[in-house]
């Protein structure tokens, strides 16, 4: 049994399967928004496709529609003025369930083929999606294109590959023949059916509406489930474009498109009711701890895959490339104004300073040098605006202001508001860098989302390693880093990260950054500390999303 779309995309699937097993660099979707990769007309067409959504009703033909809604305002300053269908959640659940038998019937081969086709279509929409992500999240263009389109597609494909691998282990049928000594053997025919568990709910976030949505969306879909996508109320458009494309691929292939629907709502209660609906069997969530913990506590009918807040951090023990280290950190702290779930917040530096290729540097010198490196990196407004993007929410603007109050620590580098050359109303703010003592735990021991980092003075390297482990255990982290020229420090830090279960980046000084993870190679999170109970993407992310129902009879 195969499927035409599986055959069509077989090379992509095989590439992904090879990549997740060997974990080298691989991607089928070009990250360069270039005519060479996407065609001469792609950029202009994508721009037009994006612009055509503005001021319009985004028609999806979903069941149970009760009206229109959506009030997205771009962090770059202007409202999008797109209206989306508001649908009764019960109608979406019922329609998803009704679509599932047809989805089950095409088998893992058909589901995988259709998912690969969906991703190929989304790839062709990369410019349109890039603009939608940029304007809803405030990301700079290059990042919005890359993270919002090809990298998100990579993560979706990765989930499809894991889902395929697990499902393909289940044989469709088997003959079971048990010897009975001198008597004829017992013989049975058995059939094994892969069955989705129910409706998957995928709750998106405001900063990465595709990158953080596609893993759960495609993991749930590929394993036989219906999916309802509930986007963040200020980042609906990228999700809506995605859902429309998926529905089109389904319909073209004879599958009820209501398998995938969009649920737009501002009402917390609506999301809660959906998440605890008895037919909702998985919830993928990216967001804050309060609602994440609510979901984990209340959604006992569902498997909850939650990415929550954490305190990302790194330890500087020593370095033989001081300027390169500072440059790497300056970029990390600036990229999308620190609005990544992987951005470093706490930089642990020994009170006695650090040894470097430029001689010993005191704690204060490290603070100053890092501050200057950031300021230097952002000294040209155009570069700064391209890297920083805009601040996604007012709450983050407030946090930046609060960081200057002196309550969290001494201000090493103050944040500046910049005027964006293209978008005068954009909320553009450079990072604020603070200095504090390890004893000031209230300052750095909780996530301060946005361009706010603290250089934390620790007694010595050993104390820094111990603090790192405690941060991971108590508050979680998606990323940790270490700079050291000493093997024993790297070894001790490695072992601490094994105990705390956090990914470690060691001595990053060139074009790889602690806040970036590469699909098919890097696990995004470990799922083993409070910052996330699941990783994108691994076997655990897919294996529990389907069930095998068998039947057997004598032959």
Residue numbers of the site for a copy of itself (CB under 8 A)? 20-25, 101, 104, 165-166, 169, 171, 174-180, 186, 188, 190, 192-193, 195, 197, 296-297, 300, 494-495, 497-498, 501-512, 518, 521-523, 526-528, 535, 538-540, 543-544, 547-554
Smallest gap from residue 26 Cβ to a copy of itself (A): 9
- In the complex, the smallest distance separating the C-beta of residue 197 from a copy of itself, rounded to whole angstroms, is 6
Residues 432-471: b if buried by 16+ CB within 10 A, e if exposed: bbbbbbbebbebbbebbbbbbbbbbbbeebebbbebbbeb
Please say which residue, 21 or 401, places its beta carbon nearer to a copy of itself: 21
Print burial letters for 310-338: b (CB count within 10 Å at least 16), e (below 16).
bbbbbbbbbbebbeebbbbbbbbbbbbbb
Between 375 and 506, CB nearer to a copy of itself: 506
As measured in angstroms, the least distance from the Cβ of 542 to a copy of itself is 8
CB 202, min distance to a copy of itself, A: 19
DSSP state of 28: S
Query: How far apart are alpha carbons 442 and 408 in whole angstroms?
Result: 8
> Least CB distance from residue 486 to a copy of itself, whole Å?
14
Question: What φ, ψ does residue 229 adopt, rounded to 5°?
Answer: -95, 120
Beta bridge partners of 178: 186
**Nearer to a copy of itself (CB atom), residue 204 or residue 292:** 292
Closest to a copy of itself by CB, 185 or 254: 185
**Would you call 221 exposed, middle or buried from its count of C-beta atoms within 10 A (0-12, 13-18, 19+)?**
buried
For residue 214, give every residue at least 6 positions away whose Cβ sits within 8 Å of its Cβ, in sequence order, or none.
152, 153, 155, 156, 159, 242
Q: Shortest approach of a copy of itself to residue 286 CB, angstroms?
A: 19
Burial of 223 (0-12, 13-18, 19+ CB in 10 A): buried
* Residue recorded with tokens 């070009």: 30
Give 248 or 549: the residue with its C-beta nearer to a copy of itself: 549
What's the closest the beta carbon of residue 19 comes to a copy of itself, in angstroms?
Answer: 10
CB of 304 to a copy of itself, least distance (A): 10
Q: What gap in Å lies between CA 393 and CA 353, rounded to an integer? A: 36
Minimum CB separation from a copy of itself for residue 390, in Å? 28
Please state the closest distance from residue 138 (CB atom) to a copy of itself, in A. 27
Distance CA 153, CA 164 (A): 16
Which residue, 2 or 494, is less far from a copy of itself as judged by CB? 494
Give whichever of 105 and 395 is closer to a copy of itself, judged by the CB atom.
105
> Do residues 222 and 13 touch, judged by C-beta distance below 8 A?
no
Neighbours of 182 (CB within 10 A): 5
| Burial bucket for residue 18 (CB in 10 Å: 0-12, 13-18, 19+) | middle
Alpha-carbon span 202 to 283, nearest angstrom: 6
> Residue 175 or residue 405: which is nearer to a copy of itself going by CB?
175
Nearer to a copy of itself, 424 or 511 (CB): 511
Query: CA distances (Å), 227 to each of 214, 276, 281, 360, in order?
Result: 11, 15, 10, 56
Comparison of 100 and 370: residue with beta carbon closer to a copy of itself: 100
Q: What does the alpha-carbon distance between residue 399 and residue 450 come to, in Å, rounded to a whole number? A: 8
């Amino acid at each position: 049994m195969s499927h035409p779309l599986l055959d069509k995309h077989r090379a992509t699937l095989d590439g992904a399967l090879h990549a997740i097993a060997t974990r080298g660099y691989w991607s089928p979707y070009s990250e360069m928004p270039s005519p060479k990769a996407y065609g001469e007309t792609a950029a202009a067409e994508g721009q037009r496709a994006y612009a055509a959504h503005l001021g319009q009703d985004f028609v999806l033909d979903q069941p149970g529609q009760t009206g229109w809604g959506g009030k997205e305002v771009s962090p770059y300053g202007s409202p999008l003025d797109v209206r989306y269908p508001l649908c009764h959640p019960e109608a979406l659940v019922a329609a998803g369930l009704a679509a599932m038998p047809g989805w089950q019937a095409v088998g893992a081969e058909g589901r995988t083929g259709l998912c690969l086709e969906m991703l190929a279509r989304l790839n062709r929409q990369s410019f349109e999606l890039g603009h939608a992500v940029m304007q809803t999240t405030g990301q700079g263009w290059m990042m919005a294109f890359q993270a919002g389109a090809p990298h998100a597609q990579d993560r979706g494909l990765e989930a499809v590959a894991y889902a395929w691998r697990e499902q393909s282990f289940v044989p469709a049928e088997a003959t079971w023949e048990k010897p009975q000594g001198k008597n004829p053997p017992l013989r049975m025919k058995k059939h094994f059916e892969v069955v989705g568990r129910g409706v998957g709910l995928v709750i998106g976030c405001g900063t990465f509406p595709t990158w953080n949505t596609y893993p759960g969306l495609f993991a749930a879909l590929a394993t036989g489930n219906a999916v309802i996508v509930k986007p963040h109320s200020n980042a609906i458009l990228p999700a809506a474009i995605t859902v429309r494309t998926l529905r089109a691929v389904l319909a073209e292939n004879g599958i009820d498109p209501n398998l995938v629907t969009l649920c737009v709502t501002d009402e917390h209660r609506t999301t809660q009711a959906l998440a605890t609906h008895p037919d909702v069997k998985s919830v993928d969530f990216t967001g804050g701890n309060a609602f994440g913990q609510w979901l984990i506590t209340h959604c006992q009918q569902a498997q909850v895959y939650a990415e929550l807040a954490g305190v990302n951090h790194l330890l500087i023990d020593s370095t033989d490339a001081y300027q390169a280290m500072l440059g790497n950190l300056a970029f990390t702290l600036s990229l999308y104004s620190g609005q990544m779930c992987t951005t470093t917040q706490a930089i642990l530096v020994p009170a006695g300073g650090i040894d470097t290729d430029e001689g010993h540097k005191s704690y204060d010198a490290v603070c100053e040098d890092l501050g200057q490196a950031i300021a230097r990196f952002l000294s040209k407004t155009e570069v700064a605006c391209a890297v920083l993007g805009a601040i996604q929410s007012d709450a983050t603007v407030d946090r930046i202001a609060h960081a200057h109050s002196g309550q969290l620590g001494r201000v090493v580098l103050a944040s500046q508001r910049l005027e964006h050359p293209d978008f005068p109303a954009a909320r553009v703010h450079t990072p604020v860098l603070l200095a504090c003592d390890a004893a000031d735990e209230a300052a750095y021991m909780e996530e301060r989302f946005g361009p706010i980092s603290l250089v934390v003075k620790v007694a010595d390297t050993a104390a820094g390693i111990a603090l790192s482990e405690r941060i991971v255990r108590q508050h979680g982290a998606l990323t940790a880093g270490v700079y050291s020229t000493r093997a024993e420090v790297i070894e001790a830090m490695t072992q601490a990260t094994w105990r705390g279960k956090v990914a470690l980046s060691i001595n990053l000084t060139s074009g790889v950054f602690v806040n970036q993870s590469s699909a098919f190679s890097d696990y995004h999170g470990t799922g083993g500390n409070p910052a996330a109970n699941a990783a994108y993407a691994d076997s655990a992310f897919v294996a529990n999303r389907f069930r095998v129902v068998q039947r057997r009879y004598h032959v």
